[in-house]
Amino acid sequence: MSDVATIRAKRPPDVKEVHILWLTAGLGCDGDSVSITAATLPSIEDVVMGAIPGLPKVHLHNAVLAYEVGDDFMKFFHQADEDKLGPFVLVVEGSIPNEKVKQQGYWAAMGTDATTGQPITTCAWIDRLAPKAVAVVAIGTCATYGGIHAMAGNPTGCMGLADYLGWNFKSKAGIPIVNVPGCPVQPDNFMETVLYLLHQVAGLAPMIPLDKELRPTWLFSARTVHEGCDRAGYYEQSQFAKEYGRPECLVKMGCWGPVVDCNVTKRGWMDGIGGCPNVGGICIACTMPGFPDKFMPFMDKPPGANLSSTGVAAYGHLIHWLRNITRSSMNKEPKWRHNRPELTTGYRPTTYSPSNERSRS
């Protein structure tokens, strides 16, 4: 059975409406919710207003963006828990605390239990909703791999969604957890992923391709930050910035771009504009599972920067010199372009004669 046929077999019949239940109650700053309001390919408005052909009707339930408040907002989550909502995609924002590492209280919660009157923890919501969702998506680095809150020495024992549910977890439609990292997430990366999943839920797309870190392969595995960076040409010529505000490569300023899986330098941030190194900032590797611990201290040169920048210096200056020679030559017009009365282009006119015509025939 093909991937598309498998999805069609597992999805609820006649999917006409899909809900997106967006948990913002993890350990986070809501920066990912704010970020996606800048998406244009597609925009969140295009998705929920039905501007994209072929999609089912989409209902978004995000506490940061919702009109509803209180019970009017929470009812959709309770209905999903009771299997009364219909098919839904679960989006989790913020890292997942370990509620087992303390004796009292809770780390994070949303809403209250009608029976006990006690807060419903974020972990409890994930436990209840993830097995019932047609797809489960972690948005931002906190939700994907733990992020800032999961640094060494943190008191919550927090983690990414796949660490919590298990890296082999699959939704009721057979879809693995989908990780879209970024601190915050690049808006079009996330909305493009959601669009793909909505097409998949509708039976219009094959299984979403993911790398071993559960990131969409076409977004995170195709190139590094360095490969798409406007400054990459300076690196091979051994030209490195020594202060901010310079146009050269930022590796010696602490940029991790050569080893980071991310497309922001190619895609930009909003409408193709921006992206950290493109606007003068170093890459701090926020899309990587080892962030932030393995990339600290920020602003210091990466461990390989001295070796690689020293190595490239052996030929970089020579390449720069040779290119400048060619560049100088290419910046000069050919000598036959002039306003003198003689023609010096090399053109040789031919004189017509019947004998010439006969010889050609």
d(CA 166, CA 32): 23
d(CA 190, CA 330): 43
Which DSSP letter does residue 159 get? B
**pLDDT at res. 338:** 83
**pLDDT at res. 5:** 55
Strand 135-139 with 178-180, pairing = parallel
For 190-219, what is the mean pLDDT? 95
**pLDDT at res. 306:** 61
What is the tally of helices (H) and strands (E) in the chain? 13, 7
Strand 119-121 with 109-112, pairing = antiparallel
Say whether pLDDT at 81 is over 90.
Answer: yes
Share of the chain above pLDDT 70, in %: 87
Highest mean pLDDT among 1-5, 11-15, 129-133, 344-348: 129-133
Say whether pLDDT at 235 is over 90.
Answer: no
pLDDT greater at residue 327 or residue 264: 264
Evaluate the CA torsion angle 290, 291, 296, 301 in order and state its sign.
positive
d(CA 153, CA 213): 24
For 316-337, what is the mean pLDDT? 73
88-93: strand order across its sheet: 57-62, 17-23, 88-93, 135-139, 178-180
pLDDT greater at residue 190 or residue 15: 190
Mean pLDDT of the chain: 88
Q: Are 249 and 324 in contact (CB under 8 A)?
A: no
Q: For residue 163, which of 101, 213, 211, 217 has the smallest C-alpha distance?
A: 213
pLDDT greater at residue 359 or residue 145: 145
**pLDDT at res. 304:** 59
Say whether pLDDT at 206 is over 70.
Answer: yes
- Hey, what domains does the chain have and what are their CATH numbers? 7-219 (3.40.50.700), 223-334 (4.10.480.10)
For 11-34, what is the mean pLDDT? 88
pLDDT (tens digit per residue) in 23-73: 999 999 999 999 999 999 999 999 999 999 889 999 999 999 999 999 999
